[in-house]
Each structure stands twice: as structure tokens, then as C-alpha cells.
Amino acid sequence: MKLMILASVWLLVIAMADAGEARKWRVKPNDLAADYAQIIDQRPGSEVVVVYWIAPETMNPDMPNIDAIKAMLKEHMLVAIAHGSATATGRMDFRVPQNPALESIDGKQRQPVEKPNWPSAVAAFSTLLQSFLAQSLGQLGEGFHWFVFDATGIDSCAKGRIWLQYAGERYSYDTPIPGCSSPAGGSK
């Protein structure tokens, strides 16, 4: 039974890793950014935490309204968290993430913006992303919960570091993230 649970968790991690360990053939800057923005934390006891920062550079440059989307993501840091454990039946039991916090390199702590206070564009975009994740990743996609932080002073293409504190861990992102066209603030 434990082997079945571990196998389920392993299959879940492979599914989340966007083609597992396969080498991408035509790597674009937004692919590099998307790979970096995803953190998978395999914890003891068949528990897994997935953190995904929707940085402006993760967006496909050919998307409609890309300039408006990137501008929104520069003002509002959008983070998805899925936290689950494998059950004896091989399914994942996801919990609602509690109390994530963002810390910037200047030591400032930021709490998520309350969902009723999200700008309408951010709420609509997160709904679209959630729908995509649920359709493409099934149960895992349904397990994601969205958090929005004020991104003032955070530039994914400038030198720095941010941390997302969640469930006893301090997940870090060094900036500039891969996929930036220049280390001083531009992106492709």
C-alpha cells in the first residue's frame, strides 16, 4: 500500500514537471522563466507542496493583450500554491493553504491581498489560469489556490531575491529570473 502511495506521488510530480525530465527542444525565454518559477517540495509522508509564481516573463509573448497582462503581473504578484498528501486510494488530498507571506530583500513582509480586494483584471486572470490548470492537470490543477501580493519594489528582471513563506518553509526566488532579456528590467 505504501508503495502505491509513493508511486502516486511520483506520478503526480512527473505530471507537474511539464514533460518530466525531458529536454525541451525549442526553448524560449518564457519556458526558462516558467521552469524557474515552479517549485516542487516533496516532503516526508507522501506530502507535496507546489508553488508557482506567475512572473511576467512566464507569459507567452504571442498571447493576446500580452502587454496589459505583463503590466498587471508587475503590479500584482500572482502565486499559486497546491499542498496535498497522497491517500491510501492513490488520490491526492489537497488542503487550503493558510497564511502564506512574501518577504522582499529589504526585509518587508507582505500579506496576501484579501480576495474581495483583488483588482478585477487579476481576479479574471486567476480564474482563467485556474480553469486551464484544472482542465490540463485534473485533480492537481483543482488543488491550486491563488494568492495576490502587492508587487511594489519587486522586479523579476532586476537583481534581488524574494521569499514566499509557507507551511514552515521559506521558498526563495533569485532575480533576475531566467528568461529576462536584460538584468536591468527588460523582458522579451
| Cβ-contact 149, 169 below 8 angstroms | no
- pLDDT number for residue 87: 87
Distance CA 22, CA 99 (A): 34
Assign 5 a pLDDT band (cuts: 50, 70, 90).
very low
Q: Where are the alpha helices (DSSP H) in the chain?
A: 2-16, 29-37, 66-75, 120-137, 139-142
The stretch 101-115 carries a mean pLDDT of 93
- pLDDT number for residue 110: 96
- Give the pTM: 0.83
Cell numbers linked to 128 = 482563467
Alpha carbon of residue 113 to chain centroid: 16
Quick check: 133 pLDDT over 60?
A: yes
| Mean per-residue pLDDT over the chain, rounded | 86
Higher-scoring residue by pLDDT: 59, 18: 59
Answer positive or negative: Cα dihedral of 110, 55, 169, 48.
positive
- pLDDT number for residue 13: 42
Assign 57 a pLDDT band (cuts: 50, 70, 90).
very high
- pLDDT number for residue 138: 86
- pLDDT number for residue 91: 87
